[in-house]
Chains A and B, each alone.
Chain A
Amino acid sequence: MRDHALEAIANARNLAQLKEVRLAHTGDRSPLALANREIGALPPSARADAGKRVGAARTEVAEALQQRQEELEAERDARVLVEESVDVTLPWGRRPQGARHPITTITERITDVFVAMGFEVAEGPEVEAEWYNFDALNIRPDHPSRTMQDSFYIAGGSEQASGMVLRTHTSPGQIRSLLQRELPVYVVVPGKTFRSDELDATHTPVFHQVEGLVVDEGITMAHLRGAIDAFVTEMFGADLRTRFRPSYFPFTEPSAEVDMQCFVCRGASVGDPTAACRTCSSEGWIEIGGCGVVNPRVLVACGVDTDRYSGWAFGLGVERTLMFAHGVEDMHDIVEGDVRFTQAFGMEI
């Protein structure tokens, strides 16, 4: 009986067969179960011995069953996992891929550099009063500086000028900050701006700027330079030199254009045709924006005590920054909204 059972267990080829063997050899109607039941009918003298032998046989069979069960399960697991294997390189593009516009994300990055320095983000309306956009910024009527920026004017009713423009820069946001906030003022002003330039490879009538403004006691051009150096380090890397060139803006005096050393070639391309640099056109420098000491006339128009306070302002064009920082060659790509362009930039820049 025992040998019979052990042989059947050993011969079970799979779990299903083993289940049958288990039923046949350990079930209620199995020979061992019947033998166990019959022990009671034996003479008392034979009961102990029979009981011992039947019990030993049952234990042995159960252990064999367990062992075979484990063997067969391991075998089954191994086989099934192999059979269930898939091609994990199959694409699963069921979720469409979204993206944020690089102009938005780079604006946020620039803004955040200043926020990290303690600046707050100020904003203002895009349709703006001429007074905020020009007069308060010392851009006088009939002065050539007013025509430096080709403005979109809002039509007034019945031959009347509306006194409003699409802001030509985010600088009116600086005026609003000075009028609304307590001194000292440390703000960064990002936003959409407008000039009546036709769209071409390098111009767009709707573009974006980020400006910074500080008005505090004892502010000098050295503080302006320090802030710009800190900005350049955060955005483009350490140890890049900056260069100020005298320039003219009505709202700052003294004024400067700011260049930074090219973050790609670091000047190595200058005069070396074999190392031409596309980022800086092998000039070694990249123009990043304009800046200067806030013209005291601007502070006066905002009611700031110019004996006590002075300030600096800095502005850059976001499109231009995106173009040189990420190698965008044509403005059309930035403005047309082709998702193939934008998707390349993902969620953050």
Chain B
Amino acid sequence: MRVPLSWLREYVDLPTEVTGRDLATTLIAAGLEVETVEELGRDLSGPLVVGEVRTVEELTGFKKPIRFCTVDVGRANGTGEPQEIVCGAVNFTEGDRVAVVLPGATLPGGFTVDARTTYGRTSAGMICSASELGLWEDHTGILVLNGLLDPVPEPGTEVAPLLGLRDDILDIAVTPDRGYALSMRGIAREAAVQYDVAFRDPAEVETKPDSAPGHPATIQDPSACDRFVLRGISGFDPGTPSPLWLRHRLSMAGMRSVSLAVDVTNYVMWELGQPLHAFDRDKLSGAITVRRAKSGEQLTTLDHVERELDPDDLVIADESGPVGLAGTMGGLYSEIDESSTELVLEAAHFSATGVARTARRHKLSSEAARRFERGVDRELPLVASSRASELLVSLGGGRVHGLTHAEAVPSAELAPPAEITLAEQYASRVAGVEYPRGRAAQRLRQIGCTVLEDGAQLRVTPPTWRGDLSDPNDLAEEVIRHEGYENLPSIPPRAPAGRGLTPAQRLRRSVARALAGDGLVEVLSYPFLGERELDALQLAEDDPRRGTLRLANPLNEDEPLLRTTLLPGLLRTLARNVGRGNTAPALFEVGSVYLPNDGAPPAPILPVDRKPTEVELAEIEAALPAQPRHVGAALAGDREPSGWWGPGRSAIWADAIEIARVVVRTANAEPVVRAAESLPWHPGRCAAVYVTLADGTESLVGHAGELHPRVVQAYGLPERTVALELDLDGIELAQGVVSAPQISTFPVATQDVALVVSAEIPVAEVENALIEGAGELLEELRLFDVYTGEQVGAGSKSVAYTLRFRAPDRTLTSEEITAARDGAVAVAAERFGATLRS
């Protein structure tokens, strides 16, 4: 809402020294979000005066018409002699009064005018157009003042005050609750309260009675409209231009001048907040009805868009069909044009939700819809149509003739604000400030409420323009904001003892720290993806990760799906880093994936006037997707860089699996790793990662390893990129409680064994056999060599371990050590046919 200060002063006696910036500060403190203050004509300086064109000499021989003029500028040039000016416009004649800028002056926009030679003549100044003066966009020629100003000013008169070239314009972002602030009337009222000065309500105009019947109209759907006013204007002169003041004000308000009739409806809307629409009566066929659209009906709106109407759309229709979308936009056919002399002016009170739905359905946002959506004062239709029609005939001739005032019993939404009862001290209780008795009533009256003081209670009826005031808290806000938010005291919080973070919250932080400590960098990627990316992961048609939720309105049509895996986001980000020259990116992400509940009914919309039942809440939970938190990582290039110390080491499958182990161990759980074939991983280099739950069962929590070469290619990644993805919620289930180990101070005994086993046996199983066979004296075992080759024969491998034995209570004897070692080997031999390598 753009608010020119000079216009605002018509309704409120602001002190003369108050600037736009001062007013902005005050209004911001009162809750109006002033986004900018534009200082119109701030850089205007020097002589800018009225001139009378004395002589015009057409210069020839140039590509366009050029005139050499002499212009009487009175004594403004110091000599009284006519000023010689070269001008490229032709829309004026000798005797016209024009705006002349003399050398040395600066026009709005910072353009300084000097005497200069052009087209072979010396031009001592410039004759200005409306655009050059900063009035409005106009490239049709210079501004001719006679005809625009009455009386016509004398040559030499200063132009800036005459035309209002200097002004401050506040641009206010109006919140959805403050519909009344979308008018000069509403802003003026706020300003008057803040400065405690007089306010003249522009809506307090005499509404002219008119006994002549107007264009017939009926309200067919009272749920959508309870007041519908039509006023006729006959014999209007459609050729009358809008006067300068009207064009200038609309321009400052940010509206384009269209025609006098349209300009006046816009002007009155800006002034009062009541949207108006003008029909050409000759284009209407028969009586008007306010009704819902019928299915199949169409309407071409003023913006030249042909629209299919929905049976929920509220329309203004004549006997031929819809002629306008009520409160949103008029129809093209019935629009007034340059030959319209018989006008019908519409002003109505429409349902906010009805207009909002129509505007949203047709993706139409108009100044009218913005106001109706936020609520328009129901007392305005008669007032605004009176004001507009009077203004029209006073400017464009004709006479106001015929009034139709259709009314319907208002629905709850359309009804005037109801009385609210609240304790006199309620605002004090909300604020935590003791306001003096009587203050609340005083503040509420200031904003237009009717207040009955009934003992300790206030019975408050809000004014008709404050449909947003329905609850005691709404009134409390009015009192508190006018008393000043800056006066609220500050009392430190007094929360009861909290329990801190939950185990899951702590685990998430620990995992992130562990991974960052392990050299990985956290990313937060968007959860949107397309089928293409699931294809790039080489997922099978029936892979559960293809069962995604879909957005109804994605930002990018190529990415309508919500992730079921973190990998696409990680791999995209990895590729971006590689593309930017990073040769060793190592990334991780902790985030939710969304796993739809197939076949679940939609989430119900529950009532809000009571607490939902457990059953109702359960229905919502049943509809929502499972949203487990996953942790994923992806690495390419060097895991350890090369340097002066020697070559680096590329990240390989084992790094990914080890990172998975790090994650699981962070939860104080013990990872179990087994070979698996699972896309998008390399079938021979993929591990399934399990945790053991409290009941002893193993639970699969994810996979890790080298990515399948096709995946690497599809994402444009470096060869042998590795990745992992684990279900953090699943790991949390295995989160164990640590019981302290017994630390023995007796000496350790070390034994090395090298076993030959079949090459297919996973070392993890050999290890398990050794641990089991060695018994409780085994403190630690470490695989120090894996060998395949001639010495052990094809199909076999040698695995060499260091076993460390120790007892809690004694030094082990050599017999005990040998027995433990032999026990370990024996189980491996029994289970896998392992033999000691000689």
Contacts and interface: CB of A to CB of B under 8 A. Distances in A.
A274 interface: no
A95 B645 CA distance: 13
Count class of interface residues, chain B: 35 or more
Contacts of B608: 135-136, 138, 297, 300-301
Given A100-B512, A253-B474, A337-B587, A115 B488 contact: no
A236 to B, nearest CB: 16
B33 A247 contact: yes
Interface string B700-714: 000000000000000
Interface string A208-236: 00000010000011110111011000000
A333 to B, nearest CB: 12
B520 interface: yes
A94 B645 contact: yes
Contact of B643 (A94, A117, A296): A94
B481 interface: yes
B516 A129 contact: no
Contact of B430 (A143, A220, A336): A220
A99 B521 contact: yes
A247 B519 CA distance: 45
A77 B159 CA distance: 97
B523 interface: yes
Contacts of B496: 118, 184, 186
B516 A347 contact: yes
B639 A96 contact: yes
A106 interface: no
A96 B177 contact: no
A301 B640 contact: no
Contacts of B481: 246, 254
B527 A243 contact: no
A120 B501 CA distance: 7
A96 B640 contact: yes
B550 A155 contact: yes
A220 B495 CA distance: 14
Contacts of A128: 624
A339 interface: yes
Interface in B678-703: none
Nearest to A242: B490
A246 to B, nearest CB: 3
Nearest to B606: A131
Interface string A141-178: 11111011000111110001111101000000000000
Nearest to B430: A293
B486 A100 contact: no
A125 B521 contact: no
B526 A104 contact: no
A96 B518 CA distance: 8
B582 interface: yes
B553 A153 contact: yes
B576 interface: yes
B476 interface: yes
Contacts of B497: 118
B298 interface: no
Nearest to B553: A153
A343 B486 contact: no
Given A205-B555, A300-B610, A310 B643 contact: no
A196 to B, nearest CB: 6
Interface string B462-488: 000000000111101100110001101
A45 interface: no
Interface string B565-589: 0000000010011001010111100
A42 B360 CA distance: 130
A340 B573 CA distance: 13
Interface stretch (B24-32, B98-106, B770-778): B24-32
Interface residues of A, number: 99
A127 B495 contact: no
Nearest to B594: A127
B795 interface: no
A337 B576 contact: yes
Contact of A141 (B353, B432, B488): B353
A141 B357 CA distance: 9
Contact of B609 (A103, A120, A142, A300): A300
B490 A142 contact: no
A55 interface: no
Nearest to B517: A98
Given A127-B562, A293-B430, A245 B498 contact: no
A144 B178 CA distance: 11
Contacts of A296: 471-473
Nearest to B485: A244
A214 to B, nearest CB: 7
A120 B499 contact: yes
B175 interface: yes
Interface string B588-621: 0011101000000011111111111000010010
B356 A143 contact: yes
A245 B488 CA distance: 11
B28 A245 contact: yes
B433 interface: yes
B498 A120 contact: yes
Contacts of A192: 524, 591-592
Nearest to A347: B516
B584 A153 contact: no
A223 B29 CA distance: 20
A245 B45 CA distance: 37
A225 B498 contact: no
A143 B111 CA distance: 46
Contacts of A337: 523-525, 573, 576-577, 587
Nearest to A334: B524
A131 B494 CA distance: 31
A327 to B, nearest CB: 19
A253 B474 CA distance: 6
A220 B431 contact: yes
B473 A164 contact: no
Contacts of B604: 129, 131, 163
A126 B594 CA distance: 9
Contacts of B147: none
Given A91-B643, A144-B374, A248 B176 contact: yes
B495 A186 contact: yes
B644 interface: yes
B627 interface: yes
Interface of A: 90-101, 103-104, 108, 115, 117-121, 123, 125-132, 135-136, 138, 141-145, 147-148, 152-156, 160-164, 166, 179, 184, 186, 192, 196, 198, 205-206, 214, 220-223, 225-227, 229-230, 243-248, 250, 253-257, 293, 295-297, 300-303, 310, 335-340, 342-343, 347
Given A225-B489, A230-B492, A342-B523, 5 more contacts: A163-B605, A220-B430, A227-B492, A296-B473, A338-B580
20 contacts: A91-B644, A94-B643, A96-B519, A96-B638, A97-B519, A115-B500, A125-B624, A152-B551, A155-B552, A164-B623, A192-B591, A196-B555, A205-B555, A221-B488, A227-B492, A246-B30, A246-B477, A253-B471, A253-B473, A254-B476
Interface of B: 28-31, 33, 175-178, 352-353, 356-357, 360, 373-374, 429-433, 471-474, 476-477, 480-481, 485-486, 488-502, 505, 509, 512-513, 515-527, 549-555, 560, 562, 573, 576-577, 580, 582, 584-587, 590-592, 594, 602-612, 617, 620, 623-625, 627, 638-641, 643-645
Of all A-B residue pairs in the complex, the 9 with the closest CB atoms, nearest first, are A303-B611, A246-B31, A220-B432, A222-B432, A118-B495, A163-B603, A254-B477, A96-B519, A248-B175
